[in-house]
Amino acid sequence: MTKDSIALLQNYIDEASLIAFFGGAGVSTESGIPDYRSPEGTYSEMEKRDLDPEVLMSKRYLLQHPEDFFERRRREKAAKPVYPNAAHRYLADLEQAGKDVRIITQNVDGLHQTAGSRYVLELHGTDRYWYCMECERHFSYEELAYDERGIPRCHIDQGIIRPAVVYFGEHPDRRLLEKSRETIRKADLLIIAGTSLTVNPAKNLIRRFNGDRVVVVNTEPIDTGKLPVDLFIQHPIGEIFSQLEVNQPKSSRR
């Protein structure tokens, strides 16, 4: 990382009319949330214990082994609270200043919204609310009531209440995917951060970009296919964004 890279990124952001920020798990690691596919990531840790994440994190497993599924969820929630980091805050501040920033995230933690961002497309759903699998009533995590087996149940029909997350074996909402494609297509600056780009729909969505500049901020190099990259910064995203300024968009300067 050099001062020249930071200055160039600042210039790209200041000049852009519409910024599409495409983020993955690496955006939230500086908030204390493990990523998935790094050596210390959630998937890697499961595989070290001869566990298959695609089995344990699937709708089928939820239905067949609900006690184990929700016990693991409770252990995750019992960890220390997490808060937005510099990356989340910078994007929210940029939008608040009048810049058109549109976030497409593979994360389910809701930290972009907590930071204040108002345009967030969550490809893999969200952990901010849960819903009854029978009647689809919505619940916050704090509202959950458990039966004697430790399974959250709806107080109306006793249906299982699950997170509004897209698990293995499920598909993202088609309307959300189309909105994500349109967002990337319209943007003149695409920032790809904290993602391996190894799974769909992530690796296909970026192909829709027809704008001016592509920036990748990631701790490891990634394959963007035929999409050319104008700037690659191999560094944690929060540390990079903490060095950027929130400047008033040119169209609104006087």
Judge residue 100's burial from the number of C-beta atoms within 10 Å of its C-beta, 0-12 exposed, 13-18 middle, 19 or more buried: middle
* 97, β-bridge pairs: none
State how far Cα 245 lies from the chain centre: 23
**Parallel, antiparallel, or unpaired: how do β-strands 18-23 and 189-193 relate?**
parallel
235 noted as active-site residue: no
Calpha distance 201→100 (Å, rounded): 23
Calpha distance 85→127 (Å, rounded): 18
**Parallel, antiparallel, or unpaired: how do β-strands 161-165 and 125-132 relate?**
antiparallel
Calpha distance 95→89 (Å, rounded): 10
Question: Residue 184 corresponds to which amino acid?
Answer: I
Q: Which of 112, 124, 155, 235 is catalytic?
A: 124
Calpha distance 10→57 (Å, rounded): 39
Element (H, E) at 42: helix 42-48
Torsion of CA 194, 81, 86, 24, to 10 degrees: 20
Q: Count of CB atoms within 10 A of residue 182's CB?
A: 12
| Catalytic positions, written as ranges | 124
